Amino acid sequence: MNRAAAAARQPWYIAVPGVVAVAFLALPLLGLLGQAPWGGMWELLTSEEVLVALRLSLTTSLAATAVAVLLGIPLAVLMTRSRAFGGGWVRALVTLPLILPPVVGGVALLAAFGRRGLAGQVLFEGFGIQIPFTTVAVVIAEAFVAMPFLVITVEGALRSSDRRFEQAAATLGARRWTVFRRITLPLIGPSIAAGAVLCWARALGEFGATLTFAGSFPGITRTMPLAVYAALDVDRSQAIALSVVLLLVSVLILVGLRGRFLTGLRR
């Protein structure tokens, strides 16, 4: 062993738990890959059931991301630019869904949009609209749980971006909308992208809130994670195959975001 390596050597009380932690994180993934029915994979994944769940997952998660982008960016702007929204309570409200057990989120959504819920009662009695256990409920559940990722990422980027660029644009004759569209948004573009991808990933994996608020009806509310859970009782190999697909998507997202994955959140 050369001298540099010897100097870098860690004591056992760091090295041993560290290696155990790596094994702990890696083992389930290895198990998943080891038990995957590689031979029948294609057949399993192209079955009608899986395709329906896959399509539902994609449409709902993209819709949830769109909702999060359209509402979340303005919210992030308000949080950084308006005194009323700059307070800690807004930030707490935004962060809460990150920590809240998703099943609690689902119950809360029921309490809000259920037939006897705060808003649900008005919708049902006034317009005959019923949200729970519909595809719309899936989008709402995913957006509720995933939006914080976008808002917090974008808010951080806005806070650290130099507002004097906006002032410079104003002196050049740009009105507020032009400044927002041509200066503010492009300057935080990378963070919006990172936030949207994180948000989409979270929406794609949503389980607890969806199950509670939307149920698990094939073709209507049974997204990929719910399909995995449902398949576990019936056909274990199908559950594993679906899990491998979701794992693959996660790895792709991780590679795509690389450094941004963490720095975007930290900023």
Partner 1 sequence: MTGLTARVELDRGGFRLDATIDAAPGRITAILGPNGSGKTTLISAIAGLTAIDGGRITIDGVVVDDPDAGAFLPPDERRVGVVFQDYLLFPHLTVRDNVEFGPRSRRDVTGRAGAGEWMERLGVATLASRYPRDLSGGQAQRVAMARALATDPSVLLLDEPLAALDASTRLEVRRELRSHLGGFAGVTLLVTHDPLDALVLADDVVILEGGRVTQRGATDDVARRPGTPYVATLMGANLLHAVADSGVARTEDGVSVAIPDRSLAGEIVIVLRPEAISLHRRHPEGSPRNVWPVVVRELEPRLDRILVHVSGPPDLAVAVTPAAVADLDISPGTQLWASAKALDLDAYARTS
Task: State the Cα–Cα distance between residues 38 and 103, nearest whole angstrom.
Answer: 33
Angle at 96 between CA 153 and CA 24, to 5 degrees: 80
Strands (E), the chain: none
Q: Closest CB to partner 1 among 169 and 196?
A: 169
Q: Rounded distance, CA 163 to CA 240, Å?
A: 49
Binding site for partner 1 (CB under 8 A): 162, 164-165, 167-175, 178, 182-183, 186-187, 189
Smallest gap from residue 150 Cβ to partner 1 (A): 20
Distance CA 135, CA 117 (A): 18
Least distance from partner 1 to the Cβ atom of residue 84, Å? 21
Q: Select 170 or 247, whichever has its Cβ closest to partner 1.
A: 170
- What's the Cα-to-Cα distance from 107 to each of 43, 140, 155, 209, rounded to whole Å? 37, 13, 28, 7
Return the amino acid letter for 224: M
State the amino acid at position 143 in one-letter form: A
Residue 186 beta carbon to partner 1: minimum distance, rounded to whole angstroms: 5
**For partner 1, the closer CB: 120 or 264:** 264
DSSP 43: H
Quote the least distance from Cβ 115 to partner 1, whole Å.
49
Q: By C-beta, is 167 or 250 nearer to partner 1?
A: 167
State the minimum distance, in angstroms, from the CB of residue 81 to partner 1. 15
**Look-up: residue for tokens 């899990």?**
243
- Least Å from the CB of residue 192 to partner 1: 13
Would you say 116 or 176 has its CB closer to partner 1?
176
Q: 136 or 170: whose CB is closer to partner 1?
A: 170
Region class of 173: left (phi > 0), else alpha (psi between -120 and 50), else beta: left
